[in-house]
């Protein structure tokens, strides 16, 4: 399918367009209706009349942005008109929602009269928390934004101007750092004199470019002092005292070329004539002023960015506007001022210099990114942009006096932003905070694994755990050097450790009547199994927990743990638990990984252990023992096994809320559960105990792949001391999460 047909198909399939309105409150019953509308709605209306700020409390205003356009400058397509521009504005709404959870109404105004646009926006102020002006041609866009900023008490932001300027300025700062140039010494040539070019030039000057070193060109050449033809007050701001009259002349010896014009505007001759280590931002869409291939063919010292996703260093406005509005809305800012824009620039520039998480690499086909000529600006799908830019905007708004609702605890605000990215973030932030309150020693048997090393850096920097790396010392240190990691953590090499012989003797004592010899024990500890070595560290109290399995099969981690540490006294088995996180709730599923065909006693063990783990996370467990039968509706040995397991749980842990045997939908659907008035479960279960490994394993994998659930686990239950198993596909963030769980586990022996 061609790109054209694919795009048309995308927009027309199913519900037409890209957006819909979703209710945030129930409206299923007469009682709901009386609250949502008449007569109940009168109460918030009267409250807002008395105190207008209550609109932020009782309506969606505080999280609602208007994307306003008249379609006179749609992308690179020109004046398509208001109606033809609507798909772009709907797309803008999707980006606001996807990246910053901001709701949007797109408003297309069928007028080219700037005063009519101004009046329309002013009349809409009661509805919205902010206005995003979009695809309005210059110079009218400057006048419209200026007037609205003067007259409105909510943020007004013309993204075509400021978005491109903010992203490109952040990239410029990093490119200058890489080339060793100072911003006060460089000469920039900006080709284009529209909205984006105007704002890019202004922001670059605000960052330190000398005004006379800012050469702007339009279709008639250089904008210089004294020029009359094609001038307006906005171009006049950048009229330079310069002998240059053409783009070619200005490019000769220039340090930076900013292209906000048309395909092919930059020639290879221009690139050759630039100063050493030239910086080129060819940002025309969809085709840049010059392609990276063409620029690199001319010279090897060039750093180039474009507006396209198929080239490195994409200058993409989505790195800016969602997060800028997020920070502005969260402090109820009255405006988005220059200080806030500069704060966004510096936040993005700093973020690009940090290590890039695996989740970003996965979003881009597992491509690796690190700060350098081909990575001077973060990627749009980097979830950390929200956590860096929105707080920077909020802080700048507070410092400049435009915040009506200042944030008192910035660290807590950042945590709230993180939680807004998904319930798993919320749950794991709680676990991480518990871990940080008393970090424990976690041993990693695969200490030379790249992901383990990168996770170790995060664990140390955030104070989540005290990692111990097991493996060949030279190999681990070399890997650290290769990854540019400066880690001061214990490295234990089994071939040289002072405890190796002691561990070997202890393993022989534990396993001498189970087929192991003294020499075999020594060989295992020195060279054969780092997992055995790590579990022995936990056994001897030299570590508090073990986390392994990133390079091995699941049984290869559990088996050494059972041989050295064993299961808890009185238990018949160990068990596996998964946390499944949905947008509207979190569920815990067990046993999903270990016990194939459990007895009633083993099922009861699973339920009690799962309840303990859930309570450890400060969540009240509500347990359902699952079956194909509902409270005796089927007389079958499998159903009776589950029924007996539920009875055992009630006998052994009478304080727990547990029911069964029961069908899965009965356990989680309130309307079905209400039919069983005798049930101890009065609200849906959050701990689901499966009758066998088949059902548990199948269910959690289907929920993960088809149900959209985020999974955290497996969490191993029933070991004498904390041991948890990683999966081969786990990324750095998964390892950090599991390490936090291991620490919390160790805090609760």
Based on the residue annotation, tell me whether 92 is a catalytic residue of this protein.
yes
Long-range contacts at 173-176 (CB < 8 A, ≥ 24 apart): 173/207, 173/345, 173/346, 173/349, 174/349, 174/352, 174/353, 174/371, 174/376, 174/377, 175/279, 175/303, 175/305, 175/373, 175/376, 176/279
Instruction: Specify whether the CB–CB gap between 500 and 528 falls below 8 A.
Output: no
The gap from C-alpha 672 to its chain's centroid, in whole angstroms, comes to: 36
Catalytic-role residue among 61, 86, 92, 441: 92
The gap from C-alpha 738 to its chain's centroid, in whole angstroms, comes to: 18
Alpha-carbon torsion 694, 696, 700, 703, what sign? positive
Please list the helix, strand and coil fractions of the chain in percent, rounded to the nearest 5, in that order. 45, 15, 40
The Cα 149–Cα 145 span in angstroms is: 6
Whether residue 510 is preceded by a cis peptide bond, meaning omega within 30 degrees of 0, is no
Pairing relation of β-strands 188-191 and 156-158?
A: unpaired
The most distant pair of C-alpha atoms in the chain lies apart, rounded to whole Å, by 99
Instruction: Specify whether the CB–CB gap between 271 and 278 falls below 8 A.
Output: yes
Based on the residue annotation, tell me whether 61 is a catalytic residue of this protein.
no
**Cα separations in angstroms, 179 against 138, 172, 277, 282, 378:** 34, 10, 6, 18, 18
Instruction: Specify whether the CB–CB gap between 465 and 459 falls below 8 A.
Output: yes
The Cα 247–Cα 250 span in angstroms is: 5
Q: Which of 347, 348, 325 is nearest to 336 (CA)?
A: 325
The gap from C-alpha 282 to its chain's centroid, in whole angstroms, comes to: 28
**DSSP calls for 36-57:** HSTTTTHHHHHHHHH-GGGHHH
Name residue 580's beta-bridge partners: 587, 711
Beta strands (DSSP E) in 70-223 are 103-108, 130-133, 156-158, 188-191, 214-218, 221-222
**Cα separations in angstroms, 32 against 36, 133, 207, 269:** 6, 36, 54, 70
Q: Which of 304, 341, 316, 303 is nearest to 203 (CA)?
A: 341
Whether residue 413 is preceded by a cis peptide bond, meaning omega within 30 degrees of 0, is no
Q: Which of 525, 462, 154, 481 is nearest to 332 (CA)?
A: 154
Instruction: Specify whether the CB–CB gap between 540 and 507 falls below 8 A.
Output: no
- The runs of H, that is alpha helices, within 13-158 are 30-36, 42-50, 55-58, 86-100, 114-124, 140-151
| Distant-in-sequence, close-in-space partners of 12: CB < 8 Å, separation ≥ 6 | none
Catalytic-role residue among 37, 150, 680, 682: 37
DSSP reduced 3-state for 314: strand
- Exposure on the CB side of residue 187, measured as CA atoms within 13 A: 16
Active site residues: 37, 92
């Amino acid at each position: 399918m061609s790109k054209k047909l694919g795009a048309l198909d995308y927009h027309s399939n199913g519900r037409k367009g890209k957006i819909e309105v979703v209710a945030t409150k129930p409206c299923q019953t007469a009682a709901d209706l009386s609250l949502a509308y008449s007569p109940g709605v009168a109460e918030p209306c009267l409250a807002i009349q008395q105190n207008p700020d209550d609109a932020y409390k009782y309506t969606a205003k505080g999280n609602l942005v208007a994307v306003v356009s008249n379609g006179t400058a749609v992308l690179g397509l020109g004046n398509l008109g208001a109606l033809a521009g609507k798909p772009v504005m709907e797309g803008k709404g999707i980006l606001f929602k996807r990246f910053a959870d901001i709701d949007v109404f797109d408003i297309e105004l069928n007028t080219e009269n700037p005063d009519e646009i101004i009046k329309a926006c002013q009349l809409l102020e009661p509805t919205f928390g902010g206005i995003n002006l979009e695809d309005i041609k210059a110079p009218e866009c400057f006048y419209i934004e200026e007037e609205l900023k003067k007259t409105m008490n909510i943020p007004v932001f013309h993204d075509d101007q400021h978005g491109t300027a903010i992203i490109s300025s952040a990239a410029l700062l990093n490119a200058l750092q890489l080339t060793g140039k100072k911003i006060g010494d460089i000469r920039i040539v900006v080709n284009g004199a529209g909205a984006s070019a105007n704002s890019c030039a202004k922001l670059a000057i605000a960052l330190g470019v000398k005004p006379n070193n800012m050469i702007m060109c339009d279709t008639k050449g250089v904008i210089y002092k004294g020029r009359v033809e094609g001038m307006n007050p906005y171009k006049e701001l950048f009229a330079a005292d310069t002998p240059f009259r053409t783009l070619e002349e200005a490019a000769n010896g220039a340090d930076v070329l900013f292209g906000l014009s048309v395909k092919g505007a930059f020639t290879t001759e221009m690139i050759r004539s630039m100063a050493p280590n030239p910086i080129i931002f060819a940002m025309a869409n969809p085709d840049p002023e010059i392609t990276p291939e063409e620029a690199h063919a001319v010279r090897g010292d060039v750093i180039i960015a474009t507006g396209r996703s198929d080239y490195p260093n994409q200058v993409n406005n989505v790195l800016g506007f969602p997060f800028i509005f997020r920070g502005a809305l969260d402090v109820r800012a009255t405006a988005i001022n220059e200080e806030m824009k500069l704060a966004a620039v510096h936040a993005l520039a700093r973020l690009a210099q940090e290590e890039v998480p695996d989740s970003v690499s996965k979003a881009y086909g597992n491509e690796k990114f690190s700060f350098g000529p081909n990575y001077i600006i973060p990627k749009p799908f980097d979830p950390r942009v929200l956590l860096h830019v929105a707080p920077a905007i909020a802080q700048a708004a507070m410092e400049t006096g435009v915040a009506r609702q200042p944030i008192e605890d910035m660290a807590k605000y950042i945590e709230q932003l993180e939680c807004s990215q998904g319930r798993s973030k919320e749950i794991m932030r709680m676990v991480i905070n518990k871990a940080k309150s008393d970090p424990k020693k976690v041993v990693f048997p695969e200490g030379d694994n790249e992901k383990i090393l990168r996770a170790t850096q995060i664990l140390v920097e955030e104070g989540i755990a005290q990692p111990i790396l097991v493996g060949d010392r030279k190999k681990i240190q070399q890997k650290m050097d290769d990854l540019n990691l400066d880690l001061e953590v214990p490295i234990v090499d089994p071939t040289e450790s002072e405890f190796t012989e002691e561990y070997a003797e202890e393993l022989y004592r534990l396993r001498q009547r189970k087929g192991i010899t003294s020499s075999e024990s020594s060989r295992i500890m020195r060279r054969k199994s780092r997992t055995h070595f790590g579990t022995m560290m936990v056994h001897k109290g030299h570590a508090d927990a073990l986390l392994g399995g990133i390079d091995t099969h699941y049984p290869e981690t559990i088996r050494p743990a059972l041989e050295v540490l064993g299961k808890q006294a009185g238990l018949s088995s160990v068990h596996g638990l998964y946390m499944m996180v949905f947008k509207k709730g979190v569920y815990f599923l067990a046993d999903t990984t270990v016990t194939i065909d459990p007895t009633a006693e083993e099922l009861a063990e699973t339920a009690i252990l799962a309840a303990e783990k859930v309570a450890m996370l400060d969540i009240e467990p509500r347990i359902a023992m699952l079956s194909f039968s509902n409270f005796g509706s089927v007389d079958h040995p499998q159903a009776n096994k589950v029924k007996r397991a539920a009875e055992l749980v009630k006998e052994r842990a009478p304080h727990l809320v547990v029911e069964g045997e029961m069908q899965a939908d009965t356990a989680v659907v309130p309307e079905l559960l209400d039919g069983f008035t005798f049930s101890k479960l009065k609200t849906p279960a959050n701990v689901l105990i499966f009758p066998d490994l088949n059902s548990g394993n199948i269910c959690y994998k289907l929920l993960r792949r088809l149900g959209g659930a985020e999974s955290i686990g497996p969490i191993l239950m029933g070991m004498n001391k904390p041991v948890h198993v990683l999966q081969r596909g786990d990324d750095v963030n998964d390892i950090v999460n599991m390490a936090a769980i291991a620490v919390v586990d160790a805090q609760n022996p």
